[in-house]
Amino acid sequence: MKKRSAARSSAVTGVLALLLAGALAASPAATATGSKPVPPRVPTSTGYGGAVSSLDPVVSEVGLQVLRKGGNATDAAVAMAAAIGVTDPYSAGIGGGGFFVHYDAATGQVETIDGRETAPGAIEHDAFVDPATGEPYPFYPDLVTGGVSVGVPGTPATWERALERWGTTSLRQALRPATKVADQGFVVDQLFHDQTVANQERFEALTSTSELFLPDGEAPEVGSVFRNPDLAATYRLLARGGVDAFYEGVLAEEIADAVQTPPVAPGTELPVPAGSMTAEDLASYEVVDRDPTVVSYRGYDVYGMAPPSSGGTTVGEALNILEQFDLASLDDSAAMHHYIEASALAYADRAAYLGDGDFVDVPVSGLLDDTFAQERACLLDPAAAAAKPVAAGDARSYDGVCDEPAAPASEPEDTESTSTTNLTVADRWGNVVEYTLTIEQIGGSGIVVPGRGFLLNNELTDFSIEYDADDPNRIEPGKRPRSSMSPTIVLADGRPVLALGSPGGSRIITTVMQMLINRIDLGMTIEEAIAAPRATPQNSARTTAEQGFIDRYGTALSGYGHQLVPDVTIGAATAIEIGPDGLLTAVAEPTRLGGGSARVVRPAVP
């Protein structure tokens, strides 16, 4: 059996608005008339013996049952991730990748698995250029729909590696609950229906996809039961043969064929560009054990994901900058001004330095150095917003001395999808998992592998669309595209006190950052921290924010010179806080994307 891990130290906006508007209108728990009961959507649960949080009640129920039957956090996380592939197939599944962060109670160590997708070995630097025009394909829906955007999936290998390192069960056992859900079906809610409708043009362009998700040419109705027997059969294949059954043999050939020759429907007007992935690319895929990033903030140790994720370094750098200021002594509007300015500085450095550290020199130690943070904090004016975008600092040469600000940089480009999903698990033994996984766009590449029941990712569009030899996120064969996924575990005195993460593309970083500030600096409870309105400052002249944030802070922040523009929803987080005597507070979104589901094994007595 081939080993699939390598140890190492170290135009969419309109579509999205439609999806989120529908999500906010979704009922808390849809039920099919006379059929399947739906587990509850519970935004907050407190208790003992283990806890789970996800964006889907069926997924959380799967994880809760694993914990109740004696499984640990890793066992539950893998089972939940497999269930996400059934009930939320447009956000994640075995056709994608992600980052798995684990706290081991036995060793006191935080460790991570990089299951990010990789570019095929034959990819060209101009892969995203339309040969008919000589210009890059329009991002949506042209570039994201087709084989050229598909990276070699890492999710199945991540599950195998996580269970190998920390699990107590087999992959066969971990897949059983999700296989049952795929066979028996789940109740379609408003979000699933609306996401299908928003993707209808893309799905109709591919025969295998329309057959699965557009039965009789229409999106499944809210309250109906959606079954996916093809995915159940694929899970059974993996249960019998392990992940070698995915990365080698017939299924690998079928994946490669779907990428190289997408099953295009006759008459489609979308270009559906083909990719170059081969079965050999799949056979050579490996997950990577990476050292986490870590910074100290207000007495807490904040652990995150290292490159190719930009989450750990960008969250960490921004926190280091903010630690130069006493946010707790400021009013909330002033604190949000500091948050916006620190985020802009960290995003400038993200754009300048972050990429796959196996291909480019990412100065991780410099970006997370307190002296570098002091130098960057010199540029944060407590009384006024800086002109955006701000320039990057020099993370390879710094002395903490204040310099004159450099000339403004160019406006950053953001093509990262706001899709993805996140889950959080803690078990009775004190182990904790924070896992963010994705297929990138809502609906990924749009390609369902014929007869297999799962969508392939469009993760390669996280590379810079146009090739630049000086860009750390340029396209290269075998390279992993830069990500913003930010699964985070926070320790105090060597023990976990908080785990959190979110979907949302490049907005993930600010969602995690703002939740940490809300909880640590502003004194909110973890329930309040996750529910509070959000902004996502990313070094642009204007800051995108939820309407609730604008209503609360807009007038005051305009006095600093900030321009806020509204968006429907930013992020959809999950978290678990570990309190005194092991009391667990599991939280999920109360309203965003229809609300999540947070459960505990033994509820606390009121």
* Residue of 71, 88, 13 whose CA lies nearest to 437: 88
Q: State the CB neighbour count (10 A cutoff) for residue 56.
A: 28
* Residue of 98, 205, 88, 57 whose CA lies nearest to 145: 205
CB 110 within 8 A of CB 292: yes
User: Which DSSP letter does residue 111 get?
Assistant: E
Residue 244, both tokens: 């070698």
What is the Cα Rg of the chain in Å? 22
Give CA–CA dist 498/488, Å, rounded.
8
List 420, 461, 510, 544, catalytic entry:
420
Strands 535-536 and 542-546: antiparallel
- Cβ neighbors of 606 (< 8 A, separation 6 or more) are none
* Residue of 471, 474, 447 whose CA lies nearest to 462: 474
Give CA–CA dist 334/120, Å, rounded.
47
Give CA–CA dist 433/508, Å, rounded.
17
Residue 187, both tokens: 């109740």
Strands 542-546 and 563-567: parallel
* Residue of 592, 584, 429 whose CA lies nearest to 498: 584
CB 220 within 8 A of CB 193: yes
- Cβ neighbors of 125 (< 8 A, separation 6 or more) are 467, 474, 475
The amino acid occupying position 430 is G
Q: Is the peptide bond before 389 cis (omega within 30 degrees of 0)?
A: yes
Which residues on neighbouring strands pair with residue 226, listed in sequence order?
186
Burial of 431 (0-12, 13-18, 19+ CB in 10 A): buried
Alpha carbon separation from 410 to 338, 376, 387, 391 (Å, rounded): 22, 18, 12, 8
Alpha carbon separation from 81 to 112, 335, 390 (Å, rounded): 16, 36, 38
Task: Tell me if residue 103 falls in helix, strand or coil.
Answer: strand
Give CA–CA dist 214/221, Å, rounded.
10
Residue 269, both tokens: 């007007």
CB 109 within 8 A of CB 262: no
Alpha carbon separation from 201 to 11, 143, 204, 266 (Å, rounded): 14, 14, 5, 13
CB 163 within 8 A of CB 75: yes
Q: Rounded to a whole number, what is the distance in angstroms from the first to the last CA of the chain?
A: 51
Catalytic site includes residue 179: no
Which positions are annotated as active-site residues? 420
